[in-house]
Amino acid sequence: MAHTYYGSDGLILTSISRQNFDSGLSRVDCIYKCRTTSANDLEPTLKAGFRVPDRPEFIIRENATRKDETDGFTTFTTFGFFGSLVTAPDANNPIPSVLGANIGSCKLTTKVLPSAAFGFVNINYDLQILGDTLTRKFTMRKTDSVTTLALPKETLSATILLATATNLSIQGTRYSESELEDKLSKSISGNPFLVTTYKSGSLSQGLVSNPEIISVNRSSFGEYDEVTVTWGLKYNDFTLTIREETAPGWVGESFWSSAP
């Protein structure tokens, strides 16, 4: 027996589901039905780049799939995306962050001025550095640039893995950060009654710099991009100037200690 359909000639939404991601991206999956006699006219409204009917904030990612049923109706399945915009990753937005690490390098020049005023003694090192990185994933408009993003406020630290001397007399000699600090705090002549003005921690302070973007990965979801940005420290060549001084307690040709 034939049936007469008295419903709408347009698309009828029969199912919808939504998924929200930590990055701020949202996805809706929709199923529509319509009379097969109207399907050819309605199909172009479900093309990629168009807005999802009934959910206009969502942009269709791919052309809808179509299935013509034997009951005189056609089923369209489509999905679209919407993004909550993020313009300041260090603001009070609940954006997950992942701390990582990377290897960098720079050159260190130490200028040591001996107490005998023989002029500066330059000792040069190649530094291999392990530093923190910060990675965040969020959404942006496809036309926005990551260069407009504020720098993250998290403090990123760095440590020297290896310092290799490059001066000919000691070329290839390797030091850990603590060994290099110990070396810089002593007289270059080896005189036990001379010490330097080197302050503990000066090496790490010399490495400190503002975070900068070191990698970007963008995936397009219509009007919005899901963006993964990694920030890290940039290591510039730097110089430490150190002066030798008489050790505390050294008087004339004798050395005394206040210890009992």
More confident residue, 193 or 228: 228
Taking residues 223-242, what's their average pLDDT?
A: 90
Q: What local confidence, expressed as pLDDT, does residue 2 receive?
A: 45
More confident residue, 96 or 42: 42
Q: What local confidence, expressed as pLDDT, does residue 206 receive?
A: 85
Q: Does residue 253 carry a pLDDT above 50?
A: no
Helix or strand or coil: residue 98?
Answer: strand
Centroid of chain to Cα 116: 48
Pairing mode of beta strands 55-60, 73-83: antiparallel
Look over the chain and give the mean of its residue pLDDT values, rounded to a whole number. Answer: 84
More confident residue, 4 or 74: 74
Tell me the whole-structure pTM to 2 decimals: 0.73
Q: For 6-114, where are the E strands, in sequence order?
A: 12-20, 25-35, 51-52, 55-60, 65-68, 73-83, 97-113
Taking residues 62-72, what's their average pLDDT?
A: 94
Pairing mode of beta strands 158-165, 174-175: antiparallel
| pLDDT tens figures, 88-129 | 655 446 677 889 999 999 999 998 877 554 566 888 999 999
Q: Does residue 172 carry a pLDDT above 50?
A: yes
DSSP classification of residue 200: T
Q: Does residue 257 carry a pLDDT above 70?
A: no
Name the band, by pLDDT with cuts 50, 70 and 90, for residue 208. confident
Query: Does an H or E element contain 125, and which?
Result: strand 121-141
